[in-house]
């Protein structure tokens, strides 16, 4: 399958991705109308596709048969020789902490935070505002808002679907939730170093992706291994998730998680010496697991279904009116990774958030 703009080659920029998204076709059929598995089957043998499904790296999600145009763009972004992943110091949670800090500052006296509440109602008011109903336990809280930004994944939005206009509800259901599990283990004397490449041992471990970090100073070495699993490998790790607080990453609670690590990722997985295995277990100073398939997330990332024109869908979701509200109000907004043109990365969420902010301003 060859993708070409007709000008002698692709430049792999946003303009070209828009071309792939809206115009690129194969045998007279637009790519966005196909599932990715269906598209690959036109140019590859079933055995070749099966090999990619079972042994391919990263979250290729072929077996979910996502929108071919979108997932070809995903691959093109990954193969772009000039692109680099950019880390966020102290993690993406620092965005949330900073936002909460600013909302609680004296400069925002009108802001109020309602934490651990579930949104259960959205009702238009005659003055154009929206009445929100939240529930926590047996208590209901009502809030009036000029604009409502639903920065949510698919699962909680599907609970609100009866309150949304019909075409918006259809768009909410136009993405596929991809369940993912992520584990990490901090080792105080790791067998790997800074030169250990990603994916080392991935083919012999229940995982889709394995990444290593390493740090050494005068007195010690320290490293972390991060294990990412989608289906079916994730089901090896899910029994190790504590069932108490599903919103929190569970640290140092279920020792079986370390046993799972030692089964595949210790310095010598074939070693049967009990004392050596016990000694290596003591080197794991911290460990944790997150099962993103559990409520309220349902997924670690999302992909668009086939036959969705993504640019139009994002535009519709960026601003719309509720039933009974003036059509011109368009003061309800959906954004986030799930409904973006850069799914699987925080960049998708940020891009859609910027579009919402532009509309509100």
Q: How far is CA 93 from the centre of its chain?
A: 14
- Whether residues 223 and 283 fall in one domain: yes
- Whether residues 206 and 302 fall in one domain: no
Residues 259-277 have a mean pLDDT of 89
Distance CA 58, CA 209 (A): 6
| Unique residue bearing structure tokens 């998204």 | 21
Which of 79, 111, 136 finishes a domain? 79
- Residue 37 inside a domain? The answer is yes
- Whether residues 151 and 101 fall in one domain: yes
Report the percentage of the chain scoring pLDDT > 90: 62
Distance CA 186, CA 198 (A): 16
- Residue 4 inside a domain? The answer is no
Give, in degrees to the nearest 5, the angle at Cα 218 between 268 and 287.
Answer: 45
- Residue 268 inside a domain? The answer is yes
Quick one: pLDDT at residue 186?
Answer: 94
Which of 254, 271, 291 finishes a domain? 291
Q: Write b or e for each residue in 53-70: b if 16 or more Cβ atoms lie within 10 A of its Cβ, otherwise e.
A: eeeeeebbbbbbbbbbbb
Which tokens belong to 223? 């490293």
Collect all residues with Cβ–Cβ distance below 8 Å to 325 and sequence separation of at least 6: 124, 128, 130, 331
Q: What is the pLDDT of the chain when averaged over all its residues? A: 88
Which of 245, 272, 291 finishes a domain? 291
How sure is the predictor about 38, in pLDDT bands with cuts at 50, 70 and 90? very high
Q: Check residues 78 and 338 and name the one with the higher pLDDT.
A: 338
- Whether residues 206 and 287 fall in one domain: yes
- Residue 88 inside a domain? The answer is no
- Whether residues 272 and 193 fall in one domain: yes
- Whether residues 260 and 210 fall in one domain: yes
- Residue 9 inside a domain? The answer is no
Task: Mean pLDDT check: name the lowest of 104-108, 144-148, 208-212, 305-309.
Answer: 104-108
Q: Write b or e for each residue in 142-166: b if 16 or more Cβ atoms lie within 10 A of its Cβ, otherwise e.
A: eeeeeebbbebbbbebbebeebbbe
Quick one: pLDDT at residue 246?
Answer: 47
- Whether residues 207 and 282 fall in one domain: yes
Nearest residue to 184 (alpha-carbon basis) of 223, 226, 238, 222: 226
Number of domains in the chain: 3
Distance CA 245, CA 228 (A): 21
Contact 188, 200 (CB under 8 A): no
- Whether residues 208 and 262 fall in one domain: yes
- Whether residues 272 and 332 fall in one domain: no
Q: Check residues 43 and 108 and name the one with the higher pLDDT.
A: 43
Q: Is the pLDDT of residue 10 over 90?
A: no
DSSP 35: B
Give, in degrees to the nearest 5, the angle at Cα 53 between 258 and 208.
Answer: 20
- Residue 126 inside a domain? The answer is yes
- Whether residues 208 and 227 fall in one domain: yes
- Whether residues 110 and 149 fall in one domain: yes
Domain range for 244 is 183-291
Residues 104-127 have a mean pLDDT of 85
- Residue 118 inside a domain? The answer is yes
3 state DSSP class of 288: strand
Give, in degrees to the nearest 5, the angle at Cα 343 between 224 and 91.
Answer: 35
Q: What is the pTM of this model?
A: 0.87
- Whether residues 120 and 266 fall in one domain: no
- Residue 1 inside a domain? The answer is no
Quick one: pLDDT at residue 258?
Answer: 92
Quick one: pLDDT at residue 116?
Answer: 86
Residues 40-85 pLDDT 10s: 999 999 999 999 888 887 777 899 999 999 999 988 887 765 656 6
Whichever domain contains 152, its CATH number is: 3.50.50.60
Query: What angle in degrees, to the nearest 10, is found between the helix axes of 14-22 and 310-318?
Result: 100
3 state DSSP class of 313: helix
Task: Mean pLDDT check: name the lowest of 19-28, 189-198, 241-250, 264-273.
Answer: 241-250
| Unique residue bearing structure tokens 């154009």 | 128
How sure is the predictor about 312, in pLDDT bands with cuts at 50, 70 and 90? very high
């Amino acid at each position: 399958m060859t993708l070409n703009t007709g000008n002698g080659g692709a430049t792999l920029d946003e303009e070209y991705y828009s071309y792939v998204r809206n115009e690129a076709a194969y045998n007279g059929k637009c790519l966005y109308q196909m599932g990715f598995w269906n598209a690959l089957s036109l140019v590859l043998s079933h055995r070749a596709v099966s090999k990619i499904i079972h042994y391919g790296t990263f979250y290729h999600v072929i077996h979910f048969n996502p929108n071919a145009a979108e997932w070809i763009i995903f691959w093109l972004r990954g193969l772009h020789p000039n692109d680099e992943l950019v880390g966020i110091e102290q993690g993406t949670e620092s965005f949330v902490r900073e936002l909460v800090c600013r909302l609680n500052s004296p400069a925002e006296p009108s802001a109020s935070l309602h934490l651990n509440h579930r949104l259960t109602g959205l009702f238009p008011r005659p003055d154009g505002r929206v009445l929100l109903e939240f529930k926590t336990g047996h208590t209901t809280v009502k809030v009036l808002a000029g604009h409502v930004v639903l920065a949510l994944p698919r699962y909680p939005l599907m609970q609100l679907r009866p309150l949304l206009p019909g075409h918006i509800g259809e768009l909410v259901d136009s993405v596929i939730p991809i369940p993912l599990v992520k584990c990490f283990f901090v080792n105080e004397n790791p067998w790997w170093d800074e030169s250990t490449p990603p994916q080392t041992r991935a083919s012999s471990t229940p995982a889709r992706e394995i990444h290593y970090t390493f740090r050494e100073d005068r007195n010690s070495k320290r490293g972390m291994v991060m294990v990412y699993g989608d289906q079916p490998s994730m089901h090896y790790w899910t029994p190790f998730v504590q069932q108490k607080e599903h919103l929190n990453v569970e640290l140092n609670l279920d020792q079986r998680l370390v046993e799972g690590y030692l089964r595949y990722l210790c310095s010598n997985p074939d070693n049967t010496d009990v004392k050596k295995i016990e000694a290596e277990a003591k080197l794991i100073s911290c460990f944790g697991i997150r099962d993103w398939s559990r409520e309220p997330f349902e997924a670690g990332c999302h992909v668009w279904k086939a036959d969705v024109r993504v640019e139009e869908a994002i535009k519709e979701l960026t601003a719309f009116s509720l039933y009974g509200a003036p059509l011109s109000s368009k003061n309800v907004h959906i954004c986030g990774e799930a409904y973006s043109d850069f799914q699987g990365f925080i960049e998708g969420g940020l891009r859609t958030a910027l579009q919402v902010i532009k509309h509100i301003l």
